[in-house]
Amino acid sequence: MTVYNLLLLLILVLGLLLCEYKKSKRNTIVFLVLSSLAMTAVAFLRADTVGIDYKQYETYFYQVHDGGWKFLISSANGYRIEPGYSLLNYVVSLFTRDVHIFMLVVAVVVVTLTAVLLYRVSPIPWIGMFVFVSFGFYGNSLSFLRQCIAISIFLFSIEFIKKRQFVPYLLIVLLAVTFHKSIIVMIPFYFIARLPVNWKFLLSYSGIAALITGLSWPIFNLITKYVYKVYATQQGLYYMMGRDWQTAAIPVITAAVILILTRFILRRDERNSVLINLSFFSALLYLMTLQHFLYQRFGMMFLTTVILTIPELFASIGVQSVEAEAVPQTVNRKAIRNRAERKRAIAERRQFKMQVNTRKYIYSYALATLVFVGYLYHVWILLANRINLVPYLTFWE
């Protein structure tokens, strides 16, 4: 656990020093570069025991290297339906047979895409990166290679939902599908995610989720009988097992906080309703995970969007939100000759300073809460060790 704790601590310290204490675009870039290098190094140096799916992808890489292009287009290629991932393996295999180099390339792809996304669209990139690690998304990338690459690509499409541009959204989603086919479920969410956030909408989808949960076994039996027969096996039944309540706790709490503070988030940008909806869907899917683990694989796609939503939330309650609503009045007593106007201007300026100080306190306490909860979630994920992240060993060990 030490390596992961040090990584999270590094991100926290760099974020506070470079992005909170000394805010600037240059410092943000420095933070993203340093944190990305640290995460890439941890991913590259890990042994094949770190990440439950590591050996599966290691075997596939060797198959691609030894079989070449013919293997890629043959029926023996288990990922032929996901050509993006197959081609990534093939291109790397042209230069090396060392699987550690391939894992390095995957880490560079996932971490770099995340860093670029946060720099481009996030109001507070360092908070997004802290969430990326503490909420387990970075840890997932050490095991679920295909899905994490696909999610890191998909996240770029969210801006096109906000801009109501379906064609670029569709193209990005289809690109992500070439790495993991499950991302295809995101196509209809272009239309759903833009719906207004209100209680009628939330109750309607909660009802649909409850209905699906109630009919899950008949649906599963029907699908595995005629379509995905391979899932009518022990592995398929494993996916139908339920998780404990701790699995859903943080996703549900996060979505609840976001819904409670919806007014502030939408005041900052009405288009943030897209992010709020995605957070709500993640909570529903994680609640459904209590019945069937299968839903978590889909819930993870929605939950990862909190690396964008939580920074938006902090920006909406921070000092910037006050500055956007009211411009501070610099009082020049000589310029204001009317005594009443001078008093009013001074009172407005005093009120503005009070609002700024209040938002600073709120922001600081909220940030402390995020760090505390994020660290607890981070530790719980490592202690549960469901995807074999612990113990962390290097490949030379």
For residue range 275-299, what is the model confidence (pLDDT) as tens digits? 999 999 999 989 888 888 778 888 8
Residue boundaries of the structural domains of the chain:
1-193+385-396
Question: Does the structure show a pLDDT above 70 at 331?
Answer: no
Residues 6+ apart with CB under 8 A from 234: none
Output the pLDDT for position 218.
Answer: 78
Alpha-carbon distances of 257 from 42, 163, 251, 303, 347, rounded to whole Å: 32, 25, 10, 14, 34
Reported confidence tier of residue 85, pLDDT bands at 50, 70, 90: very high
pLDDT bin (cut points 50, 70, 90) of residue 328 is very low
Widest CA span of the chain, in angstroms?
A: 87
Report in angstroms the alpha-carbon separations of 266 from 113, 261, 360.
26, 9, 20
State how far the alpha carbon of 19 is from the alpha carbons of 36, 209, 281, 284, 371, in Å.
15, 40, 31, 33, 15
* Confidence band for 239, pLDDT divided at 50, 70 and 90: low
Instruction: Give the residue from 381, 370, 280 showing the smallest Cα distance to 317.
Output: 370
Rounded to whole angstroms, the Cα distance separating 200 from 85 reads 40
The whole-number pLDDT of residue 230 equals 56
Q: Which two tokens stand for residue 12?
A: 């926290």
Q: What percent of the chain has pLDDT over 70?
A: 86
- Tell me, what amino acid is at 209? A
pLDDT in the model for residue 216:
75
Cα separation, 350 vs 346, in Å, equals: 6
Residue 109 has pLDDT above 90, yes or no: yes
Quick check: 69 pLDDT over 70? yes
Question: How much is the pLDDT for 320?
Answer: 62
Least confident of 215-224, 352-361, 384-393: 215-224
Task: DSSP letter for 318, please.
Answer: S
Q: What is the per-residue pLDDT across 2-21, written as a single tens digit (0 to 9) for each? A: 999 999 999 999 999 999 98
Least confident piece of the model among 4-13, 122-131, 239-248, 344-353:
344-353
For the chain, the helix, strand and coil percentages under 3-state DSSP, each to the nearest 5: 75, 0, 25
Whole-angstrom Cα distance, residue 252 to residue 255? 5
Tokens of 290: 């209590």
Rounded to two decimals, the pTM is 0.89
Nearest to 145, CA basis, from 171, 179, 174:
179
Closest Cα to residue 32, out of 132, 102, 154?
A: 132
Which range has the worst mean pLDDT, 109-118, 206-215, 337-346?
337-346
Rounded Cα gap, residues 19 and 280, in angstroms: 29
Among all chains, which residue has been given the structure tokens 């839903």? 295
Mean pLDDT of the region 62-82: 92
What pLDDT does 17 receive? 94
Terminal-residue alpha carbon distance, the chain = 16
pLDDT of 330: 47
Query: pLDDT confidence of 335, banded at 50, 70, 90?
Result: low
Where b means 16+ CB within 10 Å and e means fewer, 64-78 reads bbebeeebbeeeebe
- For 193, phi then psi, to 5°, come to -65, -20
Quote the pLDDT of residue 210.
82
Please, which residues have CB within 8 angstroms of residue 176's CB and are 6 or more apart in sequence? 149, 150, 151, 153, 154, 157, 183, 186
Least confident of 17-31, 76-90, 113-127, 349-363: 349-363
- What sign has the CA pseudo-torsion 78, 85, 301, 131? positive
Tell me the C-alpha distance between 121 and 125, whole Å: 8
CB-count burial class (<10 Å; 0-12, 13-18, 19+) for 308:
buried
Average model confidence (pLDDT) across the chain: 87
Q: Mean pLDDT lowest for which of 42-51, 274-283, 285-294, 327-336?
A: 327-336
How far is residue 216's CA from residue 223's CA, in Å, rounded to a whole number?
11
Task: State the average pLDDT over residues 129-145.
Answer: 96
